[in-house]
């Protein structure tokens, strides 16, 4: 091979070529998860010990934290009377000696063998006249010299030491020196973005001369990770846009106009703006692929209905898919009401009109009814179909699906989105010829996501945001409640609200570990409240182990005010709409995440009466930053930012989409500027070269480093 070394070349080199890696080490490395040189080089240190901060043992002062690099001289272990294990090690450097003790860490005996070099960080004390550190932070560094020593992720099971890894990495990088590492990002771009080159980055992440050098290295490697993801997403987005088999919908037709003018309220500015954004997409020849972000109660339904009507106007159909039956049914009732009395031209009668037909398809409808529904769907008799994932099952065929709306996206996977899209095979009405058209897709989510994070999670979609609440809503007041007296006052206020004819939700303590315990918690809360604070009121219970029929029955009773207080688990988190419910009590609120609390709170404040939300925690001594955030603000986007700050990416990634496994260094939270940079760069690259013909290496790296799920759509078209 000649030319600079590419990552895929490195991936083809077995670790056994490295000095010191024989059969046995090779096996250990495989256990560790490393089989080739690329994996070795991309196994980045978990931290770096800066030896410039190193103290000599003779310089240690009791009470002052310090880092020392020492050798282990002696190890002993004993168990105290009350079964605590104590591992004591004697260590020292050429200036003096010191003792370290570890309580309840029996494995230290095996870890810290005599002769091992360790970096120890801690606060020394004088104990029985001897300098001693208790439970210091310890990193094994072997005999590595250099100012900054890399510490690699370690696990007890695999017998690969951090200094062995460092030695092999060094060996590998040395051997790359002559030919040099290839850099797929054009040098002008690297310079413009003030990034270091790949070679410098890899040396710098493993063996930085200074901590600043490590930072620049991290920045470059994180950029590469983000760029790969963005190239995939932007490429996918462009591919959708180039797909010309969409439908040019009629957006200035009578249906939309009549619908909008018949709505009993004026649209918000945000609703108007978003409807226009969507209409532009609908009228264009290529299929829409848009995300609608809007906080709970921001009025997404009206926007969705407007889009669906554009489809019906042109003689096509529309579908709305919701994640649960309760939600599908609620949408069905709501949409039906919104569209009451709207007429559409009747295909069977040149001069006649017929009622616009909205139908519901869930797994709960009878077989006969289902058969009839599917028949009418296939012959175009049904205009709008609302349902659960039953919509994407085999056998559900539309005459011509023009617009597909997916509500609460995070409950559906990418595959399900695609499945609904694929229901778009349509019969051309002019000549009965089957043509494949892709419906316009609108994905709705009530989970606000900070902008740059959305660029990564939903980077293949255009984004519209409903950032304005309909007027006339009295903002929800939120209280943190803790302690016996405030709690009992709270129940008093709840009883008073109910006496005025209002209703309340009580959300039970969250028990993540087990569904069964969760149900037990709900039942206990229900029984307790019925006997005590809410005695004499009509209570209902709702939890995930009830059958859909039972759940429905309870919800219906609540809606019809036959129940005053609904004691529930988080099953009420999504979408449930009961305007007369004005009180939300969340017990053990500090156990819930911000997004979840926000969703729960969104169940009240849906009518004209002022609503309140009480977040109850049990320990008056401990405040929760999440509860504080909720008390402070009702703005979902603000809360999403706080959530990201507090919890890191986990939240977003888990609720939105799995994957993005290539992000080892990049952080959605800390690298917002890099995300924007990577996205802009990806646009530059894709715009100039949509199929990456002349960016073969980037393409190769994507194949190599992103999981198939992450890149599935790229360049398929």
The binding site for ligand ADP (CB under 6 A) comprises: 265, 267-268, 271, 294, 296-302, 446, 470, 577
Tokens of 621: 């001594």
**Alpha-carbon gap, residue 267 to 596, rounded angstroms:** 28
Closer of 15 and 444 to ligand ADP (Cβ): 444
Q: Shortest distance, CB of residue 568 to ligand ADP, whole angstroms?
A: 18
Which residue reads 């156990």 in tokens? 591
Q: Shortest distance, CB of residue 482 to ligand ADP, whole angstroms?
A: 30
Closer of 446 and 568 to ligand ADP (Cβ): 446
Q: Shortest distance, CB of residue 492 to ligand ADP, whole angstroms?
A: 30
Q: Shortest distance, CB of residue 297 to ligand ADP, whole angstroms?
A: 5
According to DSSP, the residues that pair with 581 across neighbouring strands are 503
For residue 233, CA distances in Å to 80, 173, 184, 194, 452 come to: 58, 32, 18, 24, 13
Closer of 68 and 386 to ligand ADP (Cβ): 386
Q: Shortest distance, CB of residue 133 to ligand ADP, whole angstroms?
A: 56
> Quick one: which of 322, 328, 308 has its CA closest to 260?
308
> Quick one: which of 589, 534, 543, 544 has its CA closest to 565?
534
Closer of 296 and 426 to ligand ADP (Cβ): 296
Q: Shortest distance, CB of residue 391 to ligand ADP, whole angstroms?
A: 19
Where would I find the H helices in 243-268? Answer: 254-262
Closer of 197 and 468 to ligand ADP (Cβ): 468
Q: Shortest distance, CB of residue 679 to ligand ADP, whole angstroms?
A: 27
The answer to whether the CB of 553 falls within 8 A of the CB of 541 is: no
Tokens of 701: 């790296």
Closer of 297 and 439 to ligand ADP (Cβ): 297
Tokens of 602: 């969104």
Long-range contacts of 531-534 (CB under 8 A, 24+ apart): 533/488, 533/491, 533/494, 533/495, 534/491, 534/494, 534/495, 534/564, 534/565
- What stretches of 3-116 adopt beta strand conformation (E)? 47-50, 54-55, 66-79, 85-93, 96-103
Closer of 446 and 597 to ligand ADP (Cβ): 446
Closer of 476 and 663 to ligand ADP (Cβ): 476
Q: Shortest distance, CB of residue 454 to ligand ADP, whole angstroms?
A: 17
Closer of 297 and 323 to ligand ADP (Cβ): 297
Q: Shortest distance, CB of residue 606 to ligand ADP, whole angstroms?
A: 6
For residue 424, CA distances in Å to 311, 403, 437 come to: 12, 9, 6
**Alpha-carbon gap, residue 326 to 342, rounded angstroms:** 25
The answer to whether the CB of 306 falls within 8 A of the CB of 405 is: no
């Amino acid at each position: 091979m000649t030319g600079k070394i590419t990552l895929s070349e490195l991936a083809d080199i077995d670790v056994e070529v490295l000095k010191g890696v024989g059969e046995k080490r090779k096996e250990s490395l495989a256990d560790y998860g490393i089989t080739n040189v690329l994996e070795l080089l991309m196994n980045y240190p978990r931290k770096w010990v800066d030896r410039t901060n190193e103290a000599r043992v003779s310089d240690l002062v009791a009470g002052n934290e310090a880092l020392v690099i020492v050798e282990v001289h002696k190890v002993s272990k004993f168990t105290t009377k009350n079964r605590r294990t104590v591992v004591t090690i004697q260590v020292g450097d050429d200036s003096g000696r010191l003792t370290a003790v570890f309580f309840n860490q029996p494995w230290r005996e095996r870890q810290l063998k005599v002769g091992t070099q360790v970096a120890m960080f801690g606060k020394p004390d004088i104990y029985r006249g001897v300098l001693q550190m208790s439970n210091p932070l310890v990193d094994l560094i072997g005999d590595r010299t250099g100012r900054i020593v890399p510490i690699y992720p370690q696990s007890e099971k695999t017998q690969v030491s951090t200094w062995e890894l460092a030695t092999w990495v060094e060996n590998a990088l040395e051997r790359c020196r002559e030919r040099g590492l290839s850099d797929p990002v054009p040098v002008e771009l690297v310079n413009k973005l003030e990034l270091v080159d790949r070679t410098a980055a890899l040396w710098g992440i493993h063996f930085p001369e200074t901590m600043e050098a490590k930072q620049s290295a991290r920045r470059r490697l994180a950029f590469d990770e983000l760029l790969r993801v963005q190239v995939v997403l932007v490429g996918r987005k462009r591919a959708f846009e180039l797909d010309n088999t969409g439908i040019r919908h009629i957006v200035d037709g009578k249906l939309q106009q009549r619908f909008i003018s018949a709505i009993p309220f004026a649209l918000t500015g945000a609703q108007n703006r978003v409807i226009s954004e969507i209409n532009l997409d609908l009228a264009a020849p290529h299929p829409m692929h848009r995300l609608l972000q809007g906080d709970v109660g921001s009025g997404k339904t009206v926007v969705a209905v407007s889009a669906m009507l554009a489809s019906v106007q042109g003689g096509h159909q529309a579908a709305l898919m919701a994640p649960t039956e309760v939600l599908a049914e609620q949408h069905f009732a709501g949409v039906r009401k919104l569209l009451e009395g709207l007429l559409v031209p009747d295909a069977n009668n040149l001069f006649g009109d017929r009622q616009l037909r909205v139908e519901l398809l869930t797994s709960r409808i009878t077989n006969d009814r289902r058969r009839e529904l599917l028949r009418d769907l296939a012959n175009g008799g049904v205009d709008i179909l609302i349902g659960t994932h039953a919509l994407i099952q085999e056998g559900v065929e539309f005459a011509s699906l023009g617009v597909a709306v997916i509500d609460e996206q995070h409950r559906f996977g990418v595959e399900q989105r695609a499945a609904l899209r694929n229901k778009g095979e349509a019969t051309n009405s002019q000549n009965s010829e089957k043509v494949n058209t892709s419906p316009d897709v609108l994905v709705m989510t009530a989970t606000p996501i900070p902008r740059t994070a959305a660029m990564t999670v939903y980077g293949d979609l255009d984004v519209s945001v409903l950032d304005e609440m309909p007027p006339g809503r009295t903002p929800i007041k939120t209280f943190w409640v803790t302690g016996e007296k405030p709690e009992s006052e709270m129940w008093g206020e709840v009883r008073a609200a109910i006496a005025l004819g209002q209703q309340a939700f009580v959300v039970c303590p969250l028990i993540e570990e087990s569904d069964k315990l969760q149900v037990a918690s709900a039942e206990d809360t229900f029984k307790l409240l019925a006997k005590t604070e809410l005695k004499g009121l009509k209570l209902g219970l709702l939890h995930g182990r009830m059958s859909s029929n039972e759940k429905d029955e309870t919800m219906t009773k609540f809606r019809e005010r036959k129940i005053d207080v609904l004691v529930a688990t988080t099953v009420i988190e999504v979408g449930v709409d009961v305007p007369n419910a004005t009180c939300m009590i969340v017990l053990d609120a500090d156990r819930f995440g911000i997004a979840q609390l926000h969703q729960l709170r969104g169940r009240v404040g849906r009518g004209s009466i002022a609503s309140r939300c009480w977040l109850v925690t049990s320990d008056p001594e401990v405040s929760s930053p999440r509860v504080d955030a909720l008390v402070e603000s009702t703005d979902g986007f603000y809360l999403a930012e706080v959530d990201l700050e507090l919890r890191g990416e986990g939240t977003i990634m888990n609720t939105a989409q799995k994957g993005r496994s290539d992000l080892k260094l990049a952080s959605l939270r800390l690298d917002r500027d890099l995300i924007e940079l990577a996205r802009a760069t990806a646009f530059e690259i894709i715009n100039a070269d949509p199929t990456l013909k002349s960016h073969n290496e980037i393409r190769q790296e994507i194949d190599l480093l992103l999981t198939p799920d992450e890149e599935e759509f790229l360049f398929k078209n």
